[in-house]
Amino acid sequence: MNPDHVLMSEDHENDSVQYDLSDPASWAEIVREHYDGVLRAALSQTRRRSLAEEVAQETFVRAFERHHQFDGQGALGAWLHRIAVNLSRDVLRRENVRSHAELSEAHETSDADPHPPEVVHRKHLCRVLREALDEISPPMRRAFEQTVVLGYSYRQAAEIEGVSEGTIASRVARTRNALARKYRDLDA
């Protein structure tokens, strides 16, 4: 294994795993480990599954091609997330996509088919949530999406955004308060 291309990454059991970033076989495992997170990151930006899947694929291609740019100081997942977000933004600029897909597409959790009124209600709530999030400043929205929607820790989100954990916590709290105000306005 070439020592210039080795990276230490922690898996979910906190065991260290070594990857040779110049080895395509290592990338097969990296894709298995990080694909879902990269797809969610792309989906949160593009709001369209087909675009998000393209972005996710391109993220891993770009990361492999530019693996020498990864210094190993931060988390591999954070680096992949940043590539996915940047590629998503490039795709949206190029295609000038402005549509808003349902937030629920990223987080469908029920296998059972709900009754039609429940479907309509859920879609309405997703649309309202997406519209409310779109009214929030991009840094606050990203902090909220990364921690609440995508499940990153405050530390990981801070690393992705290049800010302190306190800044992420503040942005998430302000976003939650803004969404709660919006919800109270709807309920009134």
pLDDT number for residue 114? 53
Do residues 126 and 169 both lie within one domain?
yes
Tell me the pLDDT band of 17, cut-offs 50, 70 and 90: low
d(CA 29, CA 32): 5
9, part of any domain: yes
Containing domain of residue 180, as a range? Answer: 112-187
d(CA 134, CA 183): 15
Burial of 87 (0-12, 13-18, 19+ CB in 10 A): buried
CATH of the domain at 149: 1.10.10.10
d(CA 143, CA 141): 5
Q: Name the more confident of 188 and 66.
A: 66
Give the residue among 30, 24, 12 at the shortest CA–CA distance from 83: 30
